[in-house]
Amino acid sequence: MVHVTSEELAVKLSQEINYAKSLFYEQQLMLRPSEHQEQLELDA
């Protein structure tokens, strides 16, 4: 939890946190290069 002194700062901080969370989740869903290569070999 974070305490801020203004609504403007709270909105900006919230946007930054949400952006960071979305990047984190996107990275979790991405295949690693070696996994991607192995999958291509299995599909061939």
Is 32 among the domain residues? yes
Q: Using CA atoms, how far apart are residues 38 and 3, in angstroms rounded to an integer?
A: 47
Q: How confident is the model at residue 28 (pLDDT cuts 50, 70, 90)?
A: confident
DSSP the chain: ----S-HHHHHHHHHHHHHHHHHHHHHHHSPPHHHHHHHHHHH-
Is 2 among the domain residues? no
Average per-residue pLDDT for the chain: 82
Residue ranges making up the domain that contains 36: 7-43
Is 22 among the domain residues? yes
Task: Inform me whether the pLDDT recorded for 44 exceeds 60.
Answer: no
Is 11 among the domain residues? yes
pLDDT more than 90, % of the chain: 45
pTM of the model: 0.58
Q: Flag the least confident range among 3-7, 13-17, 18-22.
A: 3-7
Is 1 among the domain residues? no
Domain count across the chain: 1
Alpha carbon distance, N-terminus to C-terminus of the chain: 49
Other C-beta atoms closer than 10 Å to the C-beta of 10 total: 13
User: What average pLDDT does this structure show over 17-41?
Assistant: 79
